[in-house]
Chain A
Amino acid sequence: MNRRLFATTLVIVSLGLWLSVCALAGDNLVRNGDLTEGSGDTPGDWRTTSQSELKAGSSFLWQHQPGSPGELRLINRKPDITDWSQTVELSSGWYFLTGELKAAGGRDELATMGIHVLGHAFGSAPLETAAGRGQWSRAGLYIKIGAERRNVQIICQLQGRGDASFRHIRLVAAAGGPPLGTPQADLTTIRQKPIEVFHGAQPSAFSPPQGRPWSIVAVLLALMGITLWGWIALAPRALKQSNRS
């Protein structure tokens, strides 16, 4: 009996512990957040953008070793705003975006993680102070989504001239709101843009053709004839004859 009670208690405690760990860890909603997957020089699910036409002066690097987490790196040799980004769809609730970043460059550089939503931008705040310039530091941002589902763009960004790296990018569902004073992105206050429907924008076929091919040839020939008549009618000799008549 005691053995059965002990086994039952052990199962319950183990289950509780496992659930707690799961709740604490959460599923990472950022695809390829540990940056292990990809092909060639491109990490899977991430794309690059450059704010200016200075792309030649910027490098987008994916640094990784097989079997271990990778890093996203941005190098701006000229002032620019460059991003690694991916879009995730989130339903109602609180979320917590975290990651590690380090920056090495001039004073005019600014490395940050954050989100873009409908033209609005929110940056993460440091969760701990970096040990020094060029050292890894953690940053985080709480995100609140209202009743409507939202497409949220996760951004790892470098502004200015410099060198920045990002790793361990995680977005997990949070049990509740952030502690008082913690930066948060409350997307419930951002109105969804009205969808501007531009009819005719989509590539589309014409009505099934029913015309007769000779008709376009005839029209072109007729127009050539009219043009030629106009050319001849304005010839000096023709004008002279019409004046005499």
Chain B
Amino acid sequence: MPISETGQVPGVRPDTATPEGFEAPQWSRIDTYILAVLLLASLATRFPALGYPPSIVFDEWFTVTSARLYLHHLPNKETHPPLAGELIATSIALFGDHPASWRLASAVLGTVLVMITYLLMRRMFLSRMAAALASLFVLCDGQFLIDSRTGHWEIFYLTFGAWAYLMLFRFMQSTDPLARRRSLAWMGVALGLSLASKLGIPLVTITLVMGWVMFAIMRHAPAGLRDGDFAPLRQIAGAFALVGGLTALVYLALYLPNYWFGFWHGVSDQITYYRGELKFQTSLPPRHPQNSPWWSWPLMLRPIRYWHQTDFLALPGAEVASIRGIGNPITWWGLVVAIPLVTREAIARKNMPRTFLVVGYAAYLAMWIPISRYKFTYYYMPALYLGFMTLAVLLAECWDDEARSFEHVALLAAMLPSMILGLGTGPGLAAAATTAAGYLLSLRRSRRYAGRFVFACYVGAALIAFAYFLPVSTGMPISPAALHARMWMHGPGLANWAGPS
């Protein structure tokens, strides 16, 4: 089938039955306003007092060490790829070696991630509400906030990965071959940057994105051409060559300082380094004071203690400052319910974007099952990012009266642990009873009201929880009693938010 005069790819057609994911959204002034508000909120949460704490926080020891050694042209056999260290080194070279410089790149990328989330969700679901909600959940999550305000690797690969997702949906929604090709090229750049930011995890991003590229090309091939025809295969091969080639080029280019400074002479030196890293990684023990198994991450049983400073506890008015990787319990535990519900929808409706979210979520968790070394809760972040989107989709459905009553009830039930752990058993159960009564009253009026009641409960509770945990996300000094009150789990086993003593 020839390409049409208008430049349409053969077989590409708007899918009016299920436009989600395949139809580009119409941008309006409202989107610009929403994006502007999100930008301001991101700047307000990511940038103020970026130099605090005025000392190394947790694994900044690795990234800042790498950056300093790059600046002195000295070798650092670092486990993770070099991009985070290189960006921090650039920041240090421009603004000086102080804590705010170490974290500037993270704050910029953390802000960009909120913006990308809105654009991505608008493309995936055409819904402003779902897009704004997903961005809000990223914005108001303690774990994402910490990684946007400290020099750790996570926000780097997550933001570049989200950019790759955005390019994927831009590719799928475009009917112009040139635009599709450009999307693939940017996708390659984004995946290369993501791969150069963190060891291992971005390989799942690449697999997920390239799997969907292949699916999109096959789906758009006309029925008669799907079997044994050359065109889709050529497109798939071309797409893999373009994206894969650019990904590898960007990745290798970011290692060029190691060649320039003479640490490596040829590719075999880089391969030797990988062999050493593989040996090192496989030799790591399963035990660590902050270790948590992969299945515990969605339940947020053991958040990481990033930084802790105690002051004179014996004296009245003394305060403690602490940074704990405690996410927003409302959204973390909400998506434990949202994932199965959206999976059910994805299967029942054969819905592509929903399938993308749940497959991605499962893949990012499943990659850790065979890995025996110690693990940390923040490894959950790429799955969590997609999980926030599923929760946003489900809540947007509640708002639009598209969710069923059992979905309302399941979502409200997921708030119960937060109520009991946050308020105490008695007040928590009272709050739960009040919420249930409010829901039943709304339901008596109409299911639409009931859906909006669930929506309002979630958004309100997520905002309150964010504000409540803000001191432990930023290290604001608070009283020991206030810190203790925020440690909702302090058992002797895995479920312990207080962390190792």
Contact = CB atoms under 8 A, between A and B. Distances in A.
A105 interface: no
* Size class of the contact patch on chain A: 35 or more
B292 to A, nearest CB: 15
A243 B239 contact: no
Contacts of A236: 3, 7, 177-178
Interface in B482-501: 500-501
A211 B266 contact: yes
A162 to B, nearest CB: 12
B311 A207 contact: no
B48 to A, nearest CB: 8
B282 interface: no
Contact of B268 (A51, A215, A235): A215
A55 interface: yes
A205 B17 CA distance: 59
A216 B234 contact: no
Given A51-B321, A223-B245, A244-B2, A210 B265 contact: yes
Contacts of B184: 230, 234
A207 B267 contact: no
B77 A112 contact: no
A36 interface: no
A227 B54 contact: no
Contacts of B54: 49-50, 53, 55
Interface string A195-223: 01011110111110111111110011001
A108 B316 CA distance: 11
B436 interface: no
Contact of A183 (B49, B69, B269, B314): B314
A18 interface: no
Interface stretch (B120-128, B246-254, B414-422): B246-254
Q: Which of A116, A122, A200 has the most CB of B within 10 A?
A: A200
Interface of A is mostly: mixed
A245 interface: yes
B264 A123 contact: no
B62 A201 contact: yes
Contacts of B178: 236
Nearest to B10: A243
B57 interface: no
B269 A207 contact: yes
Contacts of A159: 311-312, 317-319
A233 interface: yes
Contacts of B318: 110, 121, 123, 159
B269 A230 contact: no
A116 B312 CA distance: 8
Contact of B266 (A119, A191, A215, A240): A215
A211 B65 contact: no
A17 interface: no
Contact of B269 (A122, A210, A239): A210
Given A234-B235, A243-B2, A243-B231, A209 B263 contact: yes
B247 to A, nearest CB: 9
B265 A123 contact: no
A230 B2 contact: no
A242 B230 contact: yes
A47 B405 CA distance: 62
Contacts of B65: 201, 203
B449 interface: no
Q: Which 8 A-B pairs have the closest CB atoms?
A: A211-B266, A230-B242, A230-B241, A233-B238, A227-B245, A53-B52, A53-B49, A226-B245
8 contacts: A51-B319, A53-B54, A110-B318, A120-B310, A199-B284, A200-B79, A216-B259, A223-B252
Given A110-B318, A210-B266, A227-B241, 7 more contacts: A81-B311, A123-B312, A203-B74, A211-B268, A238-B234, A238-B238, A243-B3
